[in-house]
Amino acid sequence: MSGILVITQQKNRMSAETLAAGQQLGAALNLPVSAAVIGTSDAGEFADKKLDHIYTVDDPLLKAYTPDGYTAALEQLIRLKKPQFVLLPHTYQVRDFAPKLATRFQQVLVSDVVDFRAAPGSVVMVRQLFQGKLNADVKFGGEAPYFASLQAGAFRAENAVRADTPVSVESVPVQLDASKIRSRPEEPFREAQRAVDLTAASIIVSVGRGIREKENIPMVEELAKVMGAELAASRPICDNGWLPMERQVGSSGQTVAPKVYIAVGISGAIQHLVGMKGAKTIVAINKDANAPIFEVADYGIVGDLFEVVPALIEEVKKAKG
Amino acid sequence: MKIIVAIKQVPARDSQLRVDSAGKWIQTSGLSFEINEPDAYALEAALQLKEKNGGEVLALCAGPAGASQTIREALAKGADRALHIEDDTLNDLDTLAVSRLLAKAAAAENPDLILTGLQSDDLGYGQTGVVIAELLGMPHATLIMEVEKKDAAVRVKRELEDGWFQHVELPLPAVLTIQSGISKLRYATLMGIKRAKTKEVKRLTAADLGVELQPTITIDRVYAPVRTKQTQILEGSAKEAAAKLVEKLKFEVRVL
């Protein structure tokens, strides 16, 4: 067993982040790094990265994603190439099949990893517990391969090292049995066209669970208005129907990077943070000084939002004359 | 239709957490616990399926003796009976070891459907449902928004990223992990709470199930996250803090 295998997902920006992480792990452990591309014979966007090999795994049964098809194909690839580490981007698709894949090897996927510390003989994966309130160092055990999926934004895609010589692309044939693929996926669809493009806003005022009731939303709406900001929300607010889904920021909503992001009553669960931590300046208003949102905030006000927001509206009005 | 819902008990959402003296988990004494919120949505989905299609809902929980509080709540909301795999050492285990317990207990009941929440609020691995499916040789689908019962199958609506969705049909028996927030959670009625007291809770141990409690991956250390950014906390009354923030936004960030 040797080497690092990065399983990529087509047309997903997190694949490049995972490649960069794989290269870092490879450098630390002095192991070669390869990438796998599934469902196409085109190495595409990964062909210019410094890699030992690119393995393409293509088959008509991999055209549409199914957990049975992907798991069977990747199990064969891994048994053939015998990597010591298998890294994946922590996408919704990976969450759907990677635990199944790891179980095939009597292993446990260390999921949603934010960092690692690695030296030959010692690898520690860092992940969050309790919705980001605490961190944990996790160690692999049992026999390789060791599986880990990496959180969006935890590693920087631009750190991926480019190849100076063309990478060898190898097509790996797999044996898939149509009768073993049990789920019947239909075409993906979008529910409604997005009317609100939060990604274009330079200031975003975003509201979370701390607002308690729908009747309190207009207060935050007014803050957004006086600041000339777009109004956004964390998932629970949109699930409750207090604001439309199109205003949701986070892993299941939009990913934004405004000049200023003001988080009002948002605790800062991982799923929300991945959608906004790229903001240039982050302001958090929350009554809980230990809320994870303060981990990423530049400015924080620890206090009751029902007092702070009205005061802020007044001060902004004054400042704007 | 016989539906098993796997539920987990976790520290209440607003808990102030402290790392324990061994630095491997949190201090659990003095904490209050509640049902893992994503699992509450799985329970809700199961109860709605039963109301529509008939059948039975079983709550399945692996946890210490104190988890019986969460199990009672599930029964009060409408689960028909419960299986409690009682063990105090589950925090030392990993997803695979706990899933082996859950899968073994579930298999003995021959369910048509097994539901779980999408992840736990404590460990947050988000894998238990998928691993149970693999151990039992069942098909699965994750992040499910809607479930429509067919003859020997279910047609489900899956959430993908960036506002995309997909319908998938799966033959039964199958495992589904339910997306949070898809419907309003019900409260237990007074009648429900009364009736819960007479409902069956079957207690099982790892030894009963013949499962060895051996983790593959282990938590080496638990600690408070290191701040990546230096947060400047703006002190004072609401009015003072608001004034300071506006000054920062105007003169340092320059957006006002």
What digits encode the pLDDT tens for the residues A145-159?
A: 999 999 988 898 889
The answer to whether B19 faces chain A, any CB pair under 8 Å, is yes
B230 within 8 A of A296, measured Cβ to Cβ: no
Residue A171 identity (one-letter amino acid): S
Residue B176, pLDDT score? 98
Supply A66's token pair: 């199914």
Helix axes B128-136, A92-104, angle to 10 degrees: 40
B124–A270: do the CB atoms touch at under 8 Å?
yes
Residue A1, pLDDT score? 52
The answer to whether A311 faces chain B, any CB pair under 8 Å, is yes
Residue A205, pLDDT score? 97
Supply B24's token pair: 């491997």
Question: Cα separation of B65 and B198, whole Å?
Answer: 18
According to DSSP, the residues that pair with B158 across neighbouring strands are B144, B166
The answer to whether A315 faces chain B, any CB pair under 8 Å, is yes
Question: What string of H, E and C letters represents the secondary structure of A144-172?
Answer: CCEEEEECCCCCCHHHCCECCCCCEEEEC
C-alpha separations of A254 from A90, A208, A273, B208 in Å: 17, 15, 11, 47
The CATH class that applies to domain A198-320 reads alpha beta
Supply B191's token pair: 């009648």
Given this chain, do its domains A4-180 and A198-320 carry the same CATH topology? yes
What digits encode the pLDDT tens for the residues B101-146?
A: 999 999 999 999 999 999 999 999 999 999 999 999 999 999 999 9
Residues of B (135-154) whose Cβ lies below 8 Å from A: 135, 139-143
What digits encode the pLDDT tens for the residues A1-55?
A: 589 999 999 888 899 999 999 999 999 999 999 999 999 888 888 888 999 999 9
B74 within 8 A of B34, measured Cβ to Cβ: no
Residue of B nearest to A275 (CA): B162
Q: Provide the CATH topology of domain A4-180.
A: Rossmann fold (3.40.50)
So where are chain A's domains? 4-180, 198-320
H helical segments located in chain B = 37-53, 68-77, 95-107, 128-136, 190-196, 206-209, 238-247
C-alpha separations of B33 from A115, A249, B11, B37 in Å: 29, 29, 4, 11
Residue of B nearest to A203 (CA): B255
B12 within 8 A of B34, measured Cβ to Cβ: yes
C-alpha separations of B215 from A108, A141, A179, B227 in Å: 9, 8, 33, 30
* Minimal CA separation from A64 to chain B, in Å: 11
